[in-house]
Chains A and B, each alone.
Chain A
Amino acid sequence: IMVTQSPATLSLSPGERATLSCRASLTISSNLAWYQQKPGQAPRLLIYEASTRATGIPARFRGSGSGTEFTLTISSLQSEDFAVYFCQQYNTWPLTFGQGTKVEIK
């Protein structure tokens, strides 16, 4: 299953809303996770089962969608949220990632 993220880059200001998209090539129910990665760091789990926040993840991160279309919304960008975000499907082996969306400061 191919996973495609858009846009590749999102240029926003602190306080703005970020909307990131992830599309699967086949239906994957709600079997999708989101990760955040900052430079020099390993990825960090944000969301699993499409909409469940991982432990310690702030409420401003919201995942939604099912089937083939998914969205990660960051309601009000904080300085620490500027990073690269990846989605990953686990409905079918092999597990696959999207290519990432970079959220950068405008």
Chain B
Amino acid sequence: EVQLVESGGGLVQPGKSLRLSCAVSGFKFDDYAMHWVRQTPGKGLEWVAGVSWNSGNIGYAESVRGRFTISRDNAENSLYLEMNSLRDEDTALYYCAKDQSDTILWFDNWGQGTVVTVSS
């Protein structure tokens, strides 16, 4: 059974940093691309970043480029999102999602999410 478990969310002040982690199991991690997707009541679903199986292809949403960094550790079956210079508008539920392929396409499995709240 595929499992994706996010952690690292919480309350953080604007301008500060936070690191999200996603621990995976139930599939061969280094065969698939991985993503972070966030959701807010007002803006719906927003793809944040994606990384191919070997980290050779990485993409970001315009809203986070230059502030967020996605990375993966295939030896540890883990995905990460380093979030710097956080803004109020980064407040959301952040999902870790598995791609159905080794490149960046669509999401066939999702975690339950971790909440990030940016507020002073």
Contacts and interface: CB of A to CB of B under 8 A. Distances in A.
A6 to B, nearest CB: 14
B47 interface: yes
B56 interface: no
A31 B112 CA distance: 25
Main secondary structure of the interface of A (DSSP, over half): loop
Main secondary structure of the interface of B (DSSP, over half): strand
B58 to A, nearest CB: 10
Interface size class of B (residues with CB under 8 A): 20 to 34
Contact of B106 (A45, A94, A98, A100): A45
B16 to A, nearest CB: 25
Interface size class of A (residues with CB under 8 A): 20 to 34
Interface of B: 35, 44-47, 50, 59-62, 95, 100, 104-113
Interface of A: 31, 33, 35, 42-45, 48, 54, 86, 88, 90, 93-100
